[in-house]
Structure 1
Amino acid sequence: MAGAETVAAAALTGKRGRVMTVVDKTMRAWSVTAPGPVEAGGLRLVDRPVPAPGEDELLVRVRACGVCRADLHVTEGELPVHRPGGVPGHVVAGDGAGCAAS
């Protein structure tokens, strides 16, 4: 994966006709740092580099994310974690923010 700095700035028209420019190098995400009861604090808000989209991929600025029960099972340690520091949620709504350079 290419570095976040390779993501070209993209002007997008957002709500109410505002123009947004995608130049952020970091993003916020809820990460499962230690599976277990949510009250134990194993779900943390972290900063991560913005990934550069690969060939045939679109970078999406996530505005809303749904978390299903399977995500909660992983977060709470009831199902195995597929990757350390995983980010729950796979149903998202957002705006196109960039694509791979051609």
Structure 2
Amino acid sequence: MGVAGSYDCITKTPMGDQKSVFTVEDNGDGTFTGKNAGAMGSMDVENGKIDGKQLTWTMNMTVPMPMKLEGSATVDGDTLTGSVNAGAFGSMPMSGTRQG
């Protein structure tokens, strides 16, 4: 089935659990685009790379402060498990389930 799809995700942040929808659009060449849309707005995926079931990407957060986020995750069936590294705030666990 591949890694493309929309995932209902929860990221455990210092400000509590943040729900979002993480969208993965496979470009077919080992890269992906998409976005992570939640209560604090939407962030576009940049530098999205696919290596088998592994995803890596970056996002530029603007709210509540400007920060570059580095994400990595593994897709296993309909489950996404990974983390988002937020610089000084450290690594925040991220997990999600593909929307049906």
Kindly indicate which of the two structures has a greater share of residues assigned to strand.
2
TM-score normalised according to structure 1 size? 0.32
Higher relative contact order, chain-length normalized (CA < 8 Å, sep 6+):
1
Kindly indicate which of the two structures has a greater share of residues assigned to helix.
1
